[in-house]
Amino acid sequence: MEFQFSNKVEPLKPSAIREIFKSLTNPNVISFAAGNPSPLSFPTDKLQVLANEIFDNQAAFSLQYGITEGYMPLREQVADRLKSKFNTGKDFDDTIITSGGQQAIDLVAKVLCNEGDTVVCETPSFIGALNAFRSHGCVLKGLDVGNDGINPDELEALLKSDKKVKLIYLIPTFQNPAGITMSLEKRKAVLSIAKKYRVPILEDNPYGELRFSGEDVPTIKSMDDEGIVAYTGSFSKILSAGMRVGFLCGHKELLQKVTVCKQTNDVHTNLFFQMLCSKFIEKYGLDDHIKGICDLYRDNCRTMIEQMEKHFPENVKFTRPDGGLFLWCTTPAGTDMQKLIQNFVAADIAVVPGATFMPSADDVTYSFRMNYSMPTKDQIIRGVETMGKVLKKTL
Amino acid sequence: MEFQFSNKVEPLKPSAIREIFKSLTNPNVISFAAGNPSPLSFPTDKLQVLANEIFDNQAAFSLQYGITEGYMPLREQVADRLKSKFNTGKDFDDTIITSGGQQAIDLVAKVLCNEGDTVVCETPSFIGALNAFRSHGCVLKGLDVGNDGINPDELEALLKSDKKVKLIYLIPTFQNPAGITMSLEKRKAVLSIAKKYRVPILEDNPYGELRFSGEDVPTIKSMDDEGIVAYTGSFSKILSAGMRVGFLCGHKELLQKVTVCKQTNDVHTNLFFQMLCSKFIEKYGLDDHIKGICDLYRDNCRTMIEQMEKHFPENVKFTRPDGGLFLWCTTPAGTDMQKLIQNFVAADIAVVPGATFMPSADDVTYSFRMNYSMPTKDQIIRGVETMGKVLKKTL
């Protein structure tokens, strides 16, 4: 059978990251390529106790169809937490549960963008979001994420010249893959420009709670006084990635459309695990648990940076994250990236090439992403030392 | 904030069924409006034991990111069962796990249809699928489902005249909402026409295993010798609806595109419950469990039909299903359906108006759907008697 695919999906290719994951079957490889949270971050014993409580007391309810917007107690807990802890969410907003933050991104794009419309994003950016936008036929225009977020002047110039921009997609805190955080000034400026040009912002914040140094920066959504910002977060990096539970906070009118599309997409998110999240929050709260994850990632990140300072050549630059899962290494302009990555692979090291995160195939980058949540401290020490040798040999 | 929604989602409204569900909070109402499986069909004790086994032995794996195509043992079990029991799936096919059958429908439409393309469906048809097609900007053209499936001549005439048909969507077995099953002859004819005009078929079979009388009819997919049929099924009506686990069997090339879109949609389906399904199949098999569900639904369906024969006026016709969850009642042409439904509601009876299931707003129907999986036998007896009085008063 020869298939005629829709225009929007015809050019789509399986993501490079997926292919890298599939190749990670060799147990000798030290992988800094993951996007996964540490399995140590999963509160498995507590989840098991709570799962048994659900089976004992609410089994039939938990296994039956639920409502599309999500399990009401969890929606309220998420909305309360966003409000009380991050001043995020106003009266004109609503909060729904999504099947991971990924579904929130996909559905917001579907609801706001026609084929051929433009989505402004950061360069580099999260491949899962970029591919979601591509799958809706959107044109991606990237603005350099820099050391503290995109340049507001560049954003304004872009919105002035391109009238098809329907969405600004940002990961302001512990950006994936760059590991940087947008400054408060830039957040304010970006929001002000979005309001001026009437373009909604999607603020993607899956890592925001994983701060292990420095001070919290207010979310863009916390400064939104009219509902122009949609905000998505996730339990993937806090309780479990495999359960696929995230959330979307945004203007009621926007969320009504998203809900209709979610209804036709997966009806609702796995109800049992929504209840499990809710029970966990009710019984234990999230703060202590998150603190434990932050301690782990701080330790891993510091080890990685120490080792990189010790072993990497001086002309290799890298970001120094205050939280999240990733840092971003940049080699001198002109580096043969393909050769470098191949040399890493030959030395049993996996990283994700920077090109993966580029909005456009024309974007040139001499960078790669490193993850510090999955490897052990010992793997970080040995792996970075090996990488140092490869870098010195290759550059 | 005033939103400018994409053309495809702008006209979408929340589904009427959802609104009906939301109104079902009055405990006096006898509801025949549900689309839910009976909670008695959930093997809760067995699932709890297996869930504890997963927590005890594979907790970290089950809570971590999985691969988009699904948990490999479950994929193999589903493919094996389809093949051995229903001769469904050939070498050119693949089987992936989806977040319910709903996601399979949504993604197949996304992958095959541009906005403005036509999807041929049955009249009436499953509202969740119709709304999924609408959300992709598809034009729906319905063919009367009749007593044993659509008329192949009408299908051929439609495919001959409309060159924008990109998909034929069918629920051949225990159709929702009509409760009828497409004959083998029509299945063969429809497949042959689809092949002649090179239009893929999506065979949606969530109820196929729930046969409580009569003989199995081969799936359309079982007669597919080139991969033109995609086949979706679900564990929703067998193990749990709330867990959102379904599957899609189809040509590898099609499934590759679907997988890329699933990756950007929800990354993967809740892994823990994929593993739970797999363990259930491994330990208990599905056949004995399904037999128990069929016994329950046979009993309920027979009770409902007996009561309808006893209490309904003779000019009210209804289908007599051999399986599934629904039957379809038709009142004489010209019935004031709005008044009838209102009179049912006033008598504390909920059914779903037939208009809900129409592909086009212009389609006229004098029907309503009744569900026999959720109500108790006593509710069926009392409810149908009440309905009889309302029908006699209203018609």
**Are A38 and A156 members of one domain?**
no
Pick from A6, A63, A110: CB nearest B9: A110
Does residue A10 form part of some domain? Answer: no
Contact partners, residue A292, CB within 8 Å, separation at least 6: A41
- Confidence band of A13 (pLDDT split at 50, 70, 90): confident
Distance from CA of B122 to the nearest CA of A (A): 18
Chosen for mutation from B19, B53, B63 (greatest number of chain A CBs closer than 10 Å) is B63
- CB–CB contact B15 A257 (8 Å): no
Contacts of A264 in chain B (CB under 8 A): 102, 106, 128, 131-132, 134-135
Domain end among B244, B259, B284? B284
Residue A203 sits in the same domain as residue A271: yes
* Gap from B248 CA to chain A (nearest CA, Å): 14
User: Residue B376's pLDDT band (boundaries 50, 70, 90)?
Assistant: very high
Q: What distance in Å separates residue A17's CA from the closest CA in chain B?
A: 11
Length of chain A: 395
Of residues B3, B65, B253, nearest to A36 (C-beta): B65
- Give yes or no: residues B306 and B264 share one domain: no
Interchain proximity B261–A100, CB inside 8 Å: no
How many structural domains comprise chain A? 2
Phi, psi of A330 (to 5 degrees): -125, 125
In a domain, B10, yes or no: no
Residue A11 is assigned to a structural domain of this protein: no
Which chain A positions have a beta carbon within 8 Å of B260's beta carbon? Answer: 9, 12-15, 131, 135
In a domain, B8, yes or no: no
Which of B241, B260, B284 delimits the end of a domain?
B284
Cβ neighbours of residue B345 closer than 8 Å, sequence gap 6 or more: none
For residues A309 and A259, state if they share a domain. no
Is the predicted pLDDT of residue A24 greater than 80, yes or no?
no
Mean pLDDT, residues B169-198: 98
Structural domain includes residue B251: yes
Query: Which pLDDT value is given to residue B21?
Result: 64
Cα torsion A80, A83, A88, A90: sign:
positive
Q: Are residues A37 and A63 in the same domain?
A: no
Are B222 and B303 members of one domain?
Answer: no
Kindly report, residue by residue over A299-341, the tens digit of the pLDDT. Answer: 999 999 999 999 999 999 999 999 999 999 999 999 999 999 9
B2 assigned to some structural domain: no
* pLDDT digit string, tens, across residues A262-299: 999 999 999 999 999 999 999 999 999 999 999 999 99
Global pTM value: 0.97
Sheet holding A165-170, edge to edge: A93-98, A246-251, A229-234, A201-204, A165-170, A118-123, A139-144
Strand order in the sheet with B201-204: B93-98, B246-251, B229-234, B201-204, B165-170, B118-123, B139-144
Q: Which residues of B touch A261 (CB under 8 A)?
A: 9, 12, 135
Residue of chain B whose alpha carbon sits nearest to that of A226: B1
Q: How far is CA A261 from CA A66, A224, A269, B136, B285, in A?
A: 16, 24, 13, 10, 35
The span from the CA of A175 to the CA of A181, in Å, is: 6
pLDDT at residue A311, rounded to an integer: 98
Domain CATH for A359: 3.90.1150.10
Give pLDDT, residue A192. Answer: 98
- The CA radius of gyration of chain B, in Å to the nearest whole number, is 21
DSSP state letter for B115? T
Contacts of A226 in chain B (CB under 8 A): 1
Q: Is the pLDDT of residue B26 over 90?
A: no
What's the rounded mean pLDDT across residues B373-384? 97
The pLDDT value given to residue B14: 76
Search chain A and give the residue with CA nearest B65.
A242
Whether B227 shows a pLDDT value over 80: the answer reads: yes
* In-domain check, residue A8: no
Phi and psi (nearest 5°) for B289?
Answer: -65, -45
* A236 and A299 assigned to the same domain: no
Instruction: Note the pLDDT tens digit of each residue in A171-202.
Output: 999 999 999 999 999 999 999 999 999 999 99
Comparing B11-25, B147-161, B329-343, which segment has the lowest mean pLDDT?
Answer: B11-25
Q: Do A263 and B99 touch (CB under 8 A)?
A: no
Q: What is the residue-averaged pLDDT of chain B?
A: 96
Sign of CA dihedral A105, A329, A307, A394: positive
Domain containing A387 equals 16-42+288-394
Average pLDDT, chain A: 96
**Pairing verdict, β A30-31 and A349-350:** parallel
CATH of the domain at A251: 3.40.640.10
Among A252, A284, A316, residue at a domain's last position: A284
Set of chain A residues whose Cβ sits within 8 Å of the Cβ of B118: none
User: Are B277 and B294 part of one and the same domain?
Assistant: no
Task: Say if the Cβ atoms of B265 and A265 lie within 8 Å.
Answer: yes
Residues of chain A in contact with residue B13, where contact means CB-CB under 8 angstroms, are 260
Beta-carbon-side half-sphere exposure of residue A170 (alpha carbons within 13 Å) = 33
Size of interface A-B (CB pairs under 8 A): 266
* A107 lies in the same domain as A166: yes
Read off the pLDDT of residues B275-332 as tens digits, 9 standing for 90 and up.
999 999 999 999 999 999 999 999 999 999 999 999 999 999 999 999 999 999 999 9
Coil vs helix vs strand at B275: helix
The neighbouring-strand residues paired with A93 are A251
Q: What percent of chain A has pLDDT over 70?
A: 97
Q: What is the pLDDT of residue A26?
A: 80
Residue with tokens 């120094």: A320
Q: Provide the pLDDT for residue A23.
A: 60
What proportions of chain B, in percent to the nearest 5, are helix, strand and coil?
A: 45, 15, 40
The yes-or-no verdict on residue B140 having pLDDT over 90 is yes
Measure B331 CA to nearest chain A CA, in Å. Answer: 30
Residues B188-216 have a mean pLDDT of 98
B112/A4 Cβ within 8 A: yes
Among the partner-chain residues A62, A68, A236, the one whose CB lies closest to the CB of B242 is A62
Of A64, A253, A269, the CB nearest to B36: A64
Task: Examine the pLDDT at B252 and tell me if it is beyond 90.
Answer: yes
- State how far the Cα of B137 lies from the Cα of B96, in Å rounded to an integer: 25
Q: Are A163 and A156 in contact (CB under 8 A)?
A: no
Same domain? For A295 and A266 the reply is: no
Nearest CA distance, B238 vs chain A (angstrom):
11
Peptide bond just before A73 cis, omega within 30 deg: no
Which pLDDT value is given to residue B3? 96
Return the residue of B nearest to A100 by Cα.
Answer: B266
Q: What confidence tier does B27 reach under pLDDT thresholds 50, 70, 90?
A: confident
The answer to whether A65 contacts B242, with C-beta atoms less than 8 Å apart, is: yes
The mean pLDDT of B138-151, rounded to a whole number, is 98
Q: What was the pLDDT predicted at B63?
A: 98
Judge whether residue A22 has pLDDT over 70: no
Mean pLDDT, range A242-254, rounded to an integer: 98
Same domain, B297 and B219: no
- Evaluate whether residue B390 is within a structural domain: yes
Residues A297 and A279 in one domain: no
